[in-house]
Amino acid sequence: MWTIIIGILSGFLASTLIKGRGLGCFLNLLIGIVGSYLGKWIFDLLHIAVIEESKTAMLAMSTVGSIMLLIIVSIFNKK
């Protein structure tokens, strides 16, 4: 249950910061879930440890990954 909530929140935060608005519940969840994997990978590369019991730390990691995902998508989506 917390995974879904953190996914929706991180997707919403990232889309609001990058696009200026949310993208809807489903897309926010999808961005948040993919962003959480990307955030975990980035944090592992930088040797940043995240306590998995800390919901705030997981939200921050997922939001960073979601922001990176939206930036990558926007780079490839330019025409």
Q: In a structure prediction context, what are the per-residue pLDDT tens digits for the chain, which is 79 residues long?
A: 777 888 888 888 888 888 777 777 788 888 888 888 898 899 999 998 888 788 888 888 889 999 998 888 888 877 6
CA-wise closest residue to 32 among 55, 7, 9: 7
Domain ranges in the chain? Answer: 2-72
Cα separation, 52 vs 28, in Å, equals 21
Residue type, 35: G
* pTM, 2 dp: 0.84
